[in-house]
Amino acid sequence: MPTYQYPKKNLWACPRACPRILLLAAALFWASAQAGAAAPDKAEVDAHIQQARQLFSTDKELSRAEAMKALSAARQIGYRRAELEALRIVGVVAFSGGALAQAIAHFDEGLSLIGDAPQWDVLKAGFLLNKGLAYYQYGDWGQALACYLQAAPIYQAAPPTVEYARLLNNLAIVYRSLQRYEDARRIYQTSLSIKNELRDSLGMARTLVNLGLVHGYLKEREAALQHLQQAKELYERLGNAAEASSVQLSVGNVLYELGELQRAIQALQPLLKTEAHELNTHDRIALRLRLAAAEMGQEQYIKAEKYLRTADSLLRPTTFLELKRVFFQLSAKLYAQQGEYQQAWLAMNQYTELVDTLTSKERLQLEKTMEARYLTQEKENLIQIQKLELKANQQQQQNMQWGLFGLGVLSLAIGAVLWQRHKVNQTLKAKHEAVTTALLEKQTLLQEIHHRVKNNLQTIASLLSIQARQIQDPTALRAIRESRSRVDAMALIHKNLYRDTALSNVDLKVYVHKLVQNLIDNYALQERHLIHSQLDIAPIQLHIDTVIPFGLILNELISNALKYGSREREPLLITIAITVGTGNAVTLKVADNGPGFPPDFTPWEQPTLGFKLVRTFAHKLGAELRISNSPGAEITIFFPNTPYRLCPA
């Protein structure tokens, strides 16, 4: 076969080929460089994650930046484990800065990526642990417990680990916040035992701090300080100055709970010099709130105000609802002491809104939990009944085939069925008792909330009374007394609620009688007038959301009658009637035998605070207001849509 030889060409000598070869070489070099830059390897991603972890304790922003680099690179190359680790670090950084909603969003993103994949169970439990802690700081203890209980089976399926001990520690923190101190102490001790077995010194120190706090709430001074001292020594041995500072904060908290205010201040004040480096945002705010409370306890109101102002600036960008609740409560007390009653009232309103938010969340979470338990129980019962029915049918068929032998087997089967049904009934009875106990705990919790609100309102009323004794100006004195009567009207509602079994409805007849008697007694004592009342109250109950504005309206109308209806040398008669009509209609009528309204009197244009409150609350309840002279003053308010219940006979 002939062989052909092609003529050789010198490509470098060809003027047309040279530019093409150069362009091809440049393109290949650029593509190679771009491929190297665009495709980071796993080692580079792991290095970013390691750097983020090392920077977390010293520089949160740099730590987040490294974690974001790792997150971007991991997604680019499909490196799932690193992607999850980076998401968790970003979420923890957001949590440490008080951005709780952002932290929860990052943890939720990680959980959605994990799904039900069993190979990521450990990471899933870690995300749930962090998410639960974020919900706890947010004040939503029900959601926190839900996260912890979801993570618990993952840890329990394996030998005890540091993470499981940490989960127990966080569970105990929730029980401590719910004031179930004995349960909290028991769980802390279990966590401490696991950490001791695993030689987790850092975890042991943290649990010792929490045990110290529990002993402090139980007024066990020596045990509390002993545990805290052990924790501080462990942190110092580990070279962890930041955590040692947080122990000092706990020491101050324990001394405050024990009533040793001056010692608490002495323990806490040194932290102000090192807090920026050693305390996180939550603890920096808590430090100032505790100092403010201690200084107020010693009547050092100027110092307390300074701490509250700094706490306010730190709180604003965060969502620490529980700390905000404490801040507004302290601010209201401080404003009242300084005579700034308008500011005190505004702060108390914000405090009340936060209390409502937190308690309503707890209530809804408890209801959801109970509903879930009930549905689970129903499903389990249905499955069990179906199994029993199937077993009985199979046994009957066998009896028909085997005759007398089958009858014996059937007897055994019936005995087994009866025993099984007995066991099911016992299980149902136990679950029913558990539900009943949970409902009783819910009722006790609501009673405690109403009791605490009543106590807080009575404290404000007492502060107003103390302030009134130091005021000489008649106008200011009248304003203080009117403010106290409004606070008393609200406190009376919560007093009735926590003493009654119906925790959300108020017996209007009982409430109005007490309110009228309190107002008449106070006015008669101050003005030395003879006052009579005539009441005709329908036997109904109103919901707390309705009775508070209704009671404040009634308080203002009675106060107005006492103030302007009195005549010299003639007893004052106040008539109050509350009637119900068709549907949900309720009518309130307040009249007196005084001189009546002036001819040109219009309640919609009155600038006084009392009529402003009446107009505001009447508008809120969709009510119509009418006035007349018959011959004394008479005010009628018609509430067209006010749901009520008839009182039980």
- Which pLDDT does position 373 carry in this prediction? 39
- Which pLDDT does position 568 carry in this prediction? 67
User: Are residues 627 and 592 in contact, defined by beta-carbon separation less than 8 angstroms?
Assistant: no
- Which pLDDT does position 454 carry in this prediction? 59
Q: Indicate if the pLDDT at residue 388 is higher than 80.
A: no
Of residues 178 and 20, more confidently modeled = 178
pTM above 0.75, yes or no: no
Q: What is the mean pLDDT of residues 596-616?
A: 81
Distances from the Cα of 642 to the Cαs of 10, 40, 465, 513, in angstroms? 102, 67, 34, 20
- Which pLDDT does position 221 carry in this prediction? 82
The per-residue pLDDT of the chain, averaged, comes to 78
Q: What would the pLDDT profile of 312-326 be if each residue is shown by its tens digit? A: 998 888 878 888 888
Q: What is the mean pLDDT of residues 375-387?
A: 43
Of residues 440 and 309, more confidently modeled = 309
Picking from 75, 74, 82, 77, the residue whose alpha carbon sits closest to that of residue 39 is 77
Q: What would the pLDDT profile of 185-218 be if each residue is shown by its tens digit? A: 888 888 888 888 888 888 888 888 888 888 888 8
The two most distant CA atoms of the chain are separated, in Å, by 146
Distances from the Cα of 97 to the Cαs of 64, 103, 212, 240, 287, in angstroms? 11, 9, 26, 20, 16
Give the three-class secondary structure for 587: strand
- Which pLDDT does position 526 carry in this prediction? 64
Q: Indicate if the pLDDT at residue 50 is higher than 70.
A: yes
Of residues 495 and 260, more confidently modeled = 260
Q: What would the pLDDT profile of 294-307 be if each residue is shown by its tens digit? A: 999 998 989 989 99
- Which pLDDT does position 497 carry in this prediction? 59
Q: Indicate if the pLDDT at residue 381 is higher than 70.
A: no
Q: What is the C-alpha radius of gyration for the chain, rounded to an integer number of angstroms?
A: 35
Half-sphere exposure of 510 (CA within 13 A, CB side): 13
Overall residue count recorded for the chain in this entry? 649
Of residues 390 and 596, more confidently modeled = 596
Count Cβ atoms below 10 Å from residue 396 Cβ, excluding itself.
12
- Region of poorest pLDDT, from 37-51, 355-369, 416-430: 355-369
Confidence of residue 278 (pLDDT cuts 50, 70, 90): low
- Which pLDDT does position 4 carry in this prediction? 29
- Which pLDDT does position 539 carry in this prediction? 92
